[in-house]
Amino acid sequence: QVQLVESGGGLVQPGGSLRLSCAASGSISSINTMQWYRQSPGKQRALVAISSSTGITNYIDSVKGRFTISRDSAKNSWYLQMNSLKPEDTAVYYCSLVSDSQSYWGQGTQVTVSS
C-alpha cells in the first residue's frame, strides 16, 4: 500500500512562489508516474502536470514556464515548484502517483493566490 502526504500550500500574493511537496511511503514501483491535479471551487479536478520515471514531463499550457516538477528519489518525494503565481492558480492541489497500475492520491493542499 502506498500513502501520499502533501504539504506546502498556503496564501501567497500574485507573483509569488510556493513549493508543494508530496511524500510517498510504501512499496513504489521503479516505473511510476507522478501527476499533479488541481480543483477550483465549482470546477472539476484537472491535470496540471505529469512526470514519469522514464523522464517524460509535461505541463498544461497555462503553467508552462511557471511550474516545475522535481523528485528526490532518496526521500521518495516529489515537488511542484510554482512561480509567478496568479489568482487563477487558486485551487486545492492534489498529487497522484501511478505505481503498478494503481493510483494513489494525496489529501490535497490549498493554494490561494490573492492580494
Average pLDDT of span 57-78: 96
In this predicted structure, the answer to whether residue 29 has a pLDDT above a threshold of 90 is no
Cβ neighbours of residue 95 closer than 8 Å, sequence gap 6 or more: 4, 6, 20, 22, 34, 35, 36, 37, 78, 80, 105, 106
Render pLDDT for 69-114 as a digit per residue (tens, 0 to 9). Answer: 999 989 999 999 999 999 999 999 999 999 989 999 999 999 999 9
Tell me the mean pLDDT in the region 20-47.
94
Distance CA 47, CA 50 (A): 8
Q: Comparing 24-28, 37-41, 77-81, which segment has the lowest mean pLDDT?
A: 24-28
Here the cell at position 9 is: 500550500
What proportion of the chain, given as a percentage, has pLDDT over 70? 100
Q: In one letter, which amino acid is 27?
A: S
pLDDT for 28 equals 86
- Answer yes or no: is pLDDT of 36 > 90: yes
